[in-house]
Amino acid sequence: MNPHLLLIFHYAFPIVLAVLGFWGLLYFKRIDLKVWAWVFLQCSVGFYFLQLSMENPAPGSNGPNPLALDLGSGVFIVALLTGGLLLGLAGFLKQQNGSWDEDEINRRLKP
Amino acid sequence: MSQQGPVLLLLLPWAGALLMLGVALLSRRLCSLLYFLVLSLDFWVLFRSFPVLIAKGFWNYELGGWAPPWGIELVETPFNALLTGFILVVAILAWFYIRKLRLPGPTGARRERWLLSLFLFLTGTALGFLLLRDAFSIYLLLEALMIFWAGTILLLNPKGALDAFRILLWGSAASTVYLVGVLFLSASAGTVQLDDLLAQLFTSKTPGVALAAGVFMVFAWVLPSIFPAPYFFSRLLNHTPSFVTGFLVSVGARSAGYLLFVLCFFTLNVPNLVLPLWTTLLLYLLVLLLLSLFVLASRQRDFQHAMAYLAVAQGGYLLAGFVLGNKSGLAGSLLELLSQTLAVSGLFFVSESLRQGVGPQPLSRLIGMARHRFWTWTALMVFLASAVGVPPTGGFFAKFYLFQGALEKHDWALLAILSLAALFNLFYLGKFTFYLCEHRSAVPDLPPPSFSSLFPIMVLAAGVLLLGVFHQEILHTYVEPSLPRAFQNLPVPNVPFLGKAVE
């Protein structure tokens, strides 16, 4: 692959994911979309760890750095588990209150 | 057994919690018994480790015999062992309230059993914060804390699903930002072991990385430090049993506070790191903001809301010691941490013993309480005295060392902030005491006292007083050995240099 493209893919992709994630967490009103924004944020850090493992090969080999690879995989597993819990909780809230909108749910749960 | 102390200490609550998920299908009584047995066993393991700790000063344990960075290291020091003991005591005392808890609905009985399991998971997570020395494992624990925290709220409170969702979403997002800090450190130092990190950062002369990582990592402490401020969690406070809130604040937030101390003073404290002005100003503002919550606490009309603000505001004292960063300041912060673990849980346990079911708890119901619930009132006074800083409580001596630290550093701004907070609190404590002792003909509408509601708060009150009475011994034996080496009274090695002895 073209080295410039590779560089853009390696660095720009996680940064775009992280920015989108933060933006979504702060501005989305729908709780399901907030969860997806959270998944974007989580994945951006996971990608960075994988990138780190590629850039710093293990001493005496050309393979990826096992420590960074372990950490990157760990982040994706956490994203899968916690993301699943968050989506389940969002679905439960929608079922109980009939809306995805956070403000609307808050209003219905008052006092 | 004698060689596996730290790992047993950490794994027993986790193993007990997993076992309880199965036992929960059988019997409530069995779950209750298992909870008590697991925590008592853990306490015994801890008790057995004290002679080793006092003799050696610390206990390093490599999980599976693997050295870092591949293996995970546990470190037990006299201070974190003492804090572990306090956390186990709070968890054991919470058992007295869980036994009496009856949740409504057809699933109530099952949820009560799961609550015991979640309490064990939360205790295990808190112990992990105290013992683990691996930045990535700490990230996993932060995620676990949020999951168990949200799970506990969801289990107890049918109206708490949105609060549980918010706690999990924002707490987990903050943990991810912490992970970005870990990423920076890992990229720069090639390790995630906390003690290794300091050495690597120092050798590579990259204090900027330590600063950037620190700025990202502290985000993980936002949620534990604002929980359960009524501004954000009003509904949750009204619908959750008080002892559960007290347990979460005391065990979760205070163990996270110790972890912050370790990160700031043992991992990122690179010798040539100079904090820029904006971070220093931000820290002072945070101390001021947290301590100003004492004013909000005094303006509440609901007892539990007032206690919630009081619990959050006390975080300001911990942070003040960290900002001072000298020996007296840090000793004051660590003593405050011990004292708050007991006093904060005590305040919420008192609230539980004065409450009938869930719902608001107006302060007006407590008028004249001293005449009708004398022992509960006495315990409440001890906890408040510790929070405010009245002798001979542990909280008083902690604040005394904080003042001493500010004086030694000539930090007049922080001294002024601390003095204002102390004066305001003393004034308000006097007013509140008068309110509780006021003579009214009508008997206050309070539930009758029982052994299981009084025993936990009396034990905690005795602990707060003992902490004050024996503060010298605690400082000398437990706190001082856990301070950064620069503040320990170690003999200076007499290194021969060019044939001459050098001090």
Phi, psi (degrees; rounded to nearest 5) at A101: -75, 125
Write out the residues of chain B at the interface with chain A, using a CB-CB cutoff of 8 A. Answer: 69-70, 136, 140, 143, 146-147, 150, 154, 159, 161-162, 164-165, 168-169, 172-173, 176, 179-180, 182-183, 186-187, 190-192, 235, 238
Looking at residue B236, its pLDDT comes to: 86
Q: Is the pLDDT of residue B502 over 50?
A: no
pLDDT tier, A34 (very low <50, low <70, confident <90, very high otherwise):
very high
**Could A109 and B159 be called an inter-chain contact, meaning their C-beta atoms sit closer than 8 Å?**
yes
Any alpha helices (H) in A8-101, and if so which ranges? 13-27, 31-55, 66-97
pTM assigned to the model: 0.91
HEC string for B28-59: HHHHHHHHHHHHHHHHHHHHHHHHHHHHHCCE
More confident residue, A97 or B207: A97
Q: Chains A and B: how many Cβ contacts under 8 Å?
A: 75
Nearest by CB: A96 against B140, B161, B191: B161
Q: How far is A63 from chain B (nearest CA, A)?
A: 16
Q: What average pLDDT score do residues B145-169 get? A: 90
Tokens encoding B77: 């020091």
CA–CA distance, B67 with B70 (Å, rounded to integer): 6
**Could B164 and A89 be called an inter-chain contact, meaning their C-beta atoms sit closer than 8 Å?**
yes
Nearest by CB: A45 against B150, B161, B176: B176
Nearest by CB: A48 against B162, B183, B192: B183
The pLDDT tens digits of the residues spanning B73-125 come to 888 999 999 999 999 999 999 999 998 888 888 888 888 889 999 999 999 99
The alpha carbons of chain B give a radius of gyration, in whole angstroms, of: 23
Nearest by CB: B162 against A49, A71, A106: A106
Helix H or strand E segment including B99: helix B78-100
Q: Is the pLDDT of residue B498 over 60?
A: no
Looking at residue B503, its pLDDT comes to: 39
Q: What average pLDDT score do residues B416-439 get? A: 91
CA–CA distance, A75 with A54 (Å, rounded to integer): 16
Looking at residue A75, its pLDDT comes to: 85
More confident residue, A50 or A101: A101
Looking at residue B405, its pLDDT comes to: 93
Q: Is the pLDDT of residue B496 over 70?
A: no
Q: Is the pLDDT of residue B441 over 70?
A: no
Helix (H, G, I), strand (E, B) or coil at B302: strand
Looking at residue B494, its pLDDT comes to: 47
**Could A85 and B168 be called an inter-chain contact, meaning their C-beta atoms sit closer than 8 Å?**
yes
The pLDDT tens digits of the residues spanning B199-229 come to 888 887 777 888 888 888 888 888 888 988 9
Tokens encoding B368: 């004249």
CA–CA distance, B155 with B416 (Å, rounded to integer): 44
Nearest 10 degrees: Cα torsion B359, B360, B363, B364: -90
pLDDT tier, B313 (very low <50, low <70, confident <90, very high otherwise):
very high
A 10 A CB-CB count for B50 gives 17
Q: What average pLDDT score do residues B152-159 get? A: 85
CA–CA distance, B413 with B416 (Å, rounded to integer): 5
**Could A25 and B173 be called an inter-chain contact, meaning their C-beta atoms sit closer than 8 Å?**
yes
pLDDT tier, B17 (very low <50, low <70, confident <90, very high otherwise):
very high
More confident residue, B299 or A63: B299
**Could B165 and A93 be called an inter-chain contact, meaning their C-beta atoms sit closer than 8 Å?**
yes
Q: Is the pLDDT of residue B69 over 70?
A: no
Nearest by CB: B161 against A56, A93, A111: A93
Write out the residues of chain A at the interface with chain B, using a CB-CB cutoff of 8 A. Answer: 25, 31, 34-35, 38, 41-42, 45, 48-49, 52, 56, 67-68, 71, 74-75, 78, 82, 85-86, 89-90, 92-93, 96, 102, 105-106, 109-111
Looking at residue B182, its pLDDT comes to: 87
Which is it for the CA torsion B261, B207, B143, A41, positive or negative?
positive
Mean pLDDT of all residues in chain B?
87
The alpha carbons of chain A give a radius of gyration, in whole angstroms, of: 18
Nearest by CB: A68 against B169, B186, B235: B186
Q: Is the pLDDT of residue B500 over 70?
A: no
Q: Which of A39, A69, A71, A80 to mutate to test the interface with B (most CBs of B within 10 A)?
A: A71
**Could A86 and B165 be called an inter-chain contact, meaning their C-beta atoms sit closer than 8 Å?**
yes
Q: What average pLDDT score do residues B2-10 get? A: 85
Looking at residue B122, its pLDDT comes to: 95
Any idea where the domains of chain A sit in the sequence?
65-111
Looking at residue B52, its pLDDT comes to: 85
The pLDDT tens digits of the residues spanning B121-137 come to 999 999 999 999 888 89
pLDDT tier, A6 (very low <50, low <70, confident <90, very high otherwise):
low
